[in-house]
Amino acid sequence: MSTDATRTRKCTHPDPDLLHLRDEQKADDIFVRVFDCAVCGRYEIPLDIYGLDKFSRLQLQFLGQLISIGEDKVAEVRARRYAELRSRTSGE
């Protein structure tokens, strides 16, 4: 696992391991979709902003960030997933 805070590769883990955090505009005007995976950690992929609905696209361009899932929800799902994995390993 990389120690980089953000990577640009794709994760193959299904939900709920993979959580969509937000869309954001980088300093060099590139739009990315930031993900958080319980296994891989945080990473980002390039985002086609024209695939978004008009309201979301305008909001993203104006604010520079569009949050889809709050950090508290990510922490909740991650904790549930870790508890599930711990119970599997201790039960075997």
User: What are residue 42's DSSP bridge partners?
Assistant: 36
Question: For residue 61, what pLDDT band results from cuts at 50, 70 and 90?
Answer: confident
Which residue stretches of the chain are H helix?
A: 54-63, 71-91
Angle formed at CA 54 by CA 59 and CA 24, multiple of 5 degrees: 40
Give the end-to-end CA distance of the chain in Å, rounded to a whole number: 26
Question: For residue 2, what pLDDT band results from cuts at 50, 70 and 90?
Answer: very low
Residue 8 has pLDDT above 60, yes or no: no
User: Backbone phi, then psi, for 24, in 5-degree steps?
Assistant: -150, 160
Helical (H) or strand (E) element with 11: none
Torsion on CA atoms 16, 11, 28, 60, rounded to nearest 10: -30
Cβ–Cβ under 8 Å, residues 46 and 32: yes
Q: Which of 14-18, 19-23, 77-81 has the lowest mean pLDDT?
A: 14-18
Question: For residue 17, what pLDDT band results from cuts at 50, 70 and 90?
Answer: low
Mean pLDDT of the 12-31 span: 78
Q: What is the pTM of this model?
A: 0.59
